[in-house]
Amino acid sequence: MSNRIRLRRTRASGAIGVTLALSLVTAGVLTPATGAVGQLFGNTEMPTLAPLIEEVGPAVVNISVSGSVAVRNPLAQDPFFRRFLPPDGRREFESTGSGVIVDAAEGYILTNHHVVENADKITITLIDNRSLEASVVGSDAGSDIAVLRVDPDGLTEMRLGDSERVRVGDFVLAIGNPFGLRHTVTSGIVSGLGRTGINPEGYEDFIQTDASINPGNSGGALVNLNGELVGINSAILSGTGSNIGIGFAIPINMARSVMEQIIAFGSIRRGLLGVGIAAVTPEIAEAYSLESASGALITLVTDNSAAEKAGLAIGDVIVSVNSEAVEDATSLRNAIGLLRPGDKVSVGFIREGKAQTIVATLDELDAPGSLQRLAEVDPVFDGAELVTNDARRTNFNGVAGLLVVQVEPGSPADMRGLRAGDVVTHINRQRITAVAEATDIVQSARTIILQVQRGGRSLLILMR
């Protein structure tokens, strides 16, 4: 049997231990909430979460989806097999998920993008067994959020909480439709915050929970003990497809921001700063004389971008956006990507050891990958031939430095992005005019960051 652990989205989530809950109340650790949940700690014979669930449960809906997806048979590309195989076509599918009514007056429902992706027909089933046809107001793959709309007749909405106030250890409930079991409630705690790497191509800042989440819970509610929606359940980490105690929810503050844009514009318009970025590792922090390994290192500034117009430069380390700390490259990507084109943002950064602040007016992101990240890899110059500028090469491309004469295809240097004709002007911020100088720096440094001039543009390349 394989022990491989895989990430699974939960398209087709607790009861809190009573003894534990009571002991926490007795110890004064958990303060009784107001509203329906307050009855849990009242003069009842048996503590229960039933009043809370009865309050918020009607806002959670079952989503049934049918549609079709394109299907290609790779063997059909071979002339021999093509004679025996059917042509490429479409495959019909049906799936289930969950959603949360967040605006009863307008009929708006929050769910996951992957729940309704490729849907031709969407049916919503309420807790009273009414079925309604739903339309897609808009859907965003980057955040995995979609907004649906139904006839707003007799609906119950769930109050939105503030995910910035969520703490590790908070009790939460997951409500959804796992394996088609409608309105299933599970409980647990918040196990972690700010989880990334779950959807590397998207915008992520996941809440981790051990409340049981399974296939069919996608798009369902993560609820705190005040009956407030704090997250949209989205994915699980599992080797079997079932819950192993590691589930992920999209913070409601992020979901709300996406929802507001979808309702206003029908789609997401993302802001663009126009920089390539890399995470600040401890080695980079040492090389740049930073106090801590946090922030996002600018490795590239796009021509005529918001960053260039505002005065940002490669080698700057962005540490805040609108006074909110930037912990790493992912948090910068989230902060900018969830703002709108034309927004003015205050960007705090460190340059040459000095903290500075500028205001930039964001452009519009019109293509994926405009905000770049680079990973660390060894070795340094394998596969690249560099020569010292002499009289014949001085001012090659108008810049003095080390000329990259050739790069072996597929070599580490090629994989890191060096190109023939590049001129290396600095290594770890030190000006370089001779190969011997480069050798001395490389041999004694744990981190190698090249500043390269290419076609009139300067950029940073992380070599080690």
The Cα 383–Cα 404 span in angstroms is 11
Q: Is 78 a catalytic site residue?
A: no
- For residue range 419-443, list pLDDT tens digits in order: 777 788 888 878 887 766 776 777 6
- Checking if the pLDDT of 208 tops 60, the result is yes
Average pLDDT over residues 215-239: 89
**118 φ/ψ sector (left φ>0, alpha ψ -120 to 50, else beta):** left
Domain topology for 1-82+89-268: Thrombin, subunit H (2.40.10)
Range(s) of the chain covered by CATH 2.30.42.10: 271-364, 384-462
List 218, 234, 238, 370, catalytic entry: 218
Q: Give percent of the chain above pLDDT 90.
A: 33
Q: How far is CA 381 from CA 125, 132, 431, in A?
A: 60, 62, 18
- Checking if the pLDDT of 416 tops 80, the result is no
Range(s) of the chain covered by CATH 2.40.10.120: 1-82+89-268
Q: Confirm or reject CATH 2.30.42.10 for domain 271-364, answering yes or no.
A: yes
The Cα 101–Cα 109 span in angstroms is 4
Q: Which CATH class is domain 384-462?
A: mainly beta
Residue 421 CB neighbour total at 10 angstroms = 15
The Cα 131–Cα 145 span in angstroms is 22
Q: What is the pLDDT of residue 118?
A: 87
Q: What is the pLDDT of residue 376?
A: 29
CB proximity list for 411: less than 8 A, separation 6 or greater: 382, 383, 384
Q: Is 411 a catalytic site residue?
A: no
- Checking if the pLDDT of 120 tops 50, the result is yes
Average pLDDT over residues 329-353: 87
Q: Give percent of the chain above pLDDT 70.
A: 74
pLDDT confidence bin for 43, thresholds 50/70/90:
low
Q: How far is CA 69 from CA 72, 97, 120, in A?
A: 10, 18, 10
412 token code pair: 């580490």
List 113, 114, 183, 426, catalytic entry: 114
Q: What is the pLDDT of residue 36?
A: 53
Which H or E run contains 18?
helix 18-26
370 token code pair: 């405009």
Q: What is the pLDDT of residue 411?
A: 73
Q: Is 151 a catalytic site residue?
A: no
Q: What is the pLDDT of residue 462?
A: 78
| DSSP secondary structure string for all residues of 27-38 | TT-SPPPSGGGG
pLDDT confidence bin for 367, thresholds 50/70/90:
very low
In sequence order, which ranges of 189-346 are alpha helices (DSSP H)?
Answer: 252-265, 282-287, 306-310, 329-337
List 103, 144, 328, 363, catalytic entry: 144
Average pLDDT over residues 52-75: 84
- For residue range 145-192, list pLDDT tens digits in order: 999 999 999 999 999 999 999 999 999 999 998 888 888 999 999 998
